[in-house]
């Protein structure tokens, strides 16, 4: 499974929350791929995923969170995907 | 609101003057006023609205932002950002980037619509057959699950 966090440089909450979210993801799915992508460098990809607001989080190439999720929200989403 | 006795004063522009310089109609300017994007700062002795010279730049800003796809509510936010001491260029870039993403999503969805229409046009013979046999109407009705009454 792969998580992609899209951010804009200068987003302070992305930097602080990103570490917590990454830790949560690794707890739920050890070895999960975690990528943090500068939306300005990956504009075509961001458009392809239909991201409308930033920061945003995609899981396995699918836009799932249009803002930063809480650790609980991410945990629930990953657990659900793990089961299915 | 300040009352100005001499409308020839260089500090103020009448509605006719400012709309002429900004190349917008008076209706447009009044619409901007109703939308709280711009406001006259003074009135002449005769009761005419007068605008400061800065208003001209503001109108140009609004027009340019509209051309970039921003709606008036978004332009109001942009103007607020422009006047905020706490904001910086990065904040404006975020707004512009999110607008671009919205436009790209619209383009994508319009491309899907356009492709769907291409398919319908391609399938239609376009001859003199009656409307009941028109493949475009039939396909649209089938998609909605509605049976068209015969004419």
On chain B, the residues whose CB falls within 8 A of the CB of A51 are: 101
At residue A78, does pLDDT exceed 80?
Answer: yes
Selecting from A8, A9, A50 the residue whose C-beta is nearest the C-beta of B108 gives A50
Please report the pLDDT score of residue B8 as a whole number. 54
Cα–Cα nearest to B6, from B50, B65, B66: B50
At residue B150, does pLDDT exceed 80?
Answer: no
Mean pLDDT over B121-135 rounds to 89
At residue A71, does pLDDT exceed 70?
Answer: yes
Please report the pLDDT score of residue B47 as a whole number. 87
On chain B, the residues whose CB falls within 8 A of the CB of A39 are: 97
Which strand ranges, in their side-by-side order, compose the sheet holding A33-38? A33-38, A2-7, A56-59, A62-65
Answer yes or no: do A54 and B94 touch at CB < 8 A: yes
Rg (CA), chain B: 25
On chain A, the residues whose CB falls within 8 A of the CB of B104 are: 47
Q: Report how far residue A9's alpha carbon sits from residue B97's, in angstroms, rounded to the nearest whole number.
A: 12
The whole model's pTM is what?
Answer: 0.78
Please, which pLDDT band fits residue B9 given cuts at 50, 70 and 90?
low
Rg (CA), chain A: 12
Name the residue ranges covered by the structural domains of chain A.
2-83
Q: Report how far residue B146's alpha carbon sits from residue B143's, in angstroms, rounded to the nearest whole number.
A: 8
Interface test with A, best of B104, B110, B111, B112 (most A CBs within 10 A): B104
Q: In angstroms, what CA-CA distances link B33 with A25, A62, B39, B59, B139?
A: 50, 42, 6, 11, 46
Mean pLDDT over B112-134 rounds to 91
Half-sphere exposure of B8 toward its Cβ, with a 13 Å CA cutoff?
0
Answer yes or no: do B104 and A47 touch at CB < 8 A: yes
At residue B26, does pLDDT exceed 60?
Answer: yes
- The mean of the pLDDT values for chain B is 88
At residue B146, does pLDDT exceed 80?
Answer: no
At residue B18, does pLDDT exceed 60?
Answer: yes
Mean pLDDT over B74-96 rounds to 93
Task: Give me the CATH topology for the region A2-83.
Answer: Glutaredoxin (3.40.30)
Q: Higher pLDDT residue, B2 or B141?
A: B141
Mean pLDDT over B105-130 rounds to 92
Distance from CA of B32 to the nearest CA of A (A): 27
At residue B103, does pLDDT exceed 70?
Answer: yes
Mean pLDDT over A28-50 rounds to 94
């Amino acid at each position: 499974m792969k998580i992609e966090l899209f951010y804009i440089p200068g987003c302070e909450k992305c930097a602080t929350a990103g570490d917590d979210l990454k830790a949560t993801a690794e707890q739920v799915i050890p070895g999960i791929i975690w990528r943090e992508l500068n939306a300005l460098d990956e504009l075509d990809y961001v458009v392809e995923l239909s991201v409308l607001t930033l920061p945003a989080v995609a899981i396995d190439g699918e836009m799932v969170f249009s803002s930063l999720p809480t650790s609980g929200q991410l945990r629930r989403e990953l657990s659900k995907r793990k089961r299915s | 609101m300040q009352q100005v006795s001499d409308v020839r004063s260089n500090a103020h522009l009448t509605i006719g003057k400012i709309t002429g310089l900004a190349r917008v109609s008076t209706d447009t300017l009044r619409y901007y006023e109703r939308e709280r994007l711009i406001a006259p700062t003074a009135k002449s002795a005769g009761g005419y609205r007068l605008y400061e010279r800065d208003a001209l730049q503001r109108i140009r800003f609004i027009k340019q932002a509209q051309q970039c796809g921003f709606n008036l509510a978004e332009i109001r936010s942009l103007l607020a950002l422009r006047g905020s001491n706490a904001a910086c260029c990065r904040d404006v870039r975020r707004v512009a980037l999110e607008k671009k993403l919205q436009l790209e999503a619209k383009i994508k969805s319009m491309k899907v619509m356009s492709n769907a229409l291409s398919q319908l046009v391609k399938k239609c013979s376009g001859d003199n057959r009656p409307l009941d046999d028109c493949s475009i109407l039939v396909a649209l009705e089938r998609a909605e699950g509605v049976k068209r009454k015969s004419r």
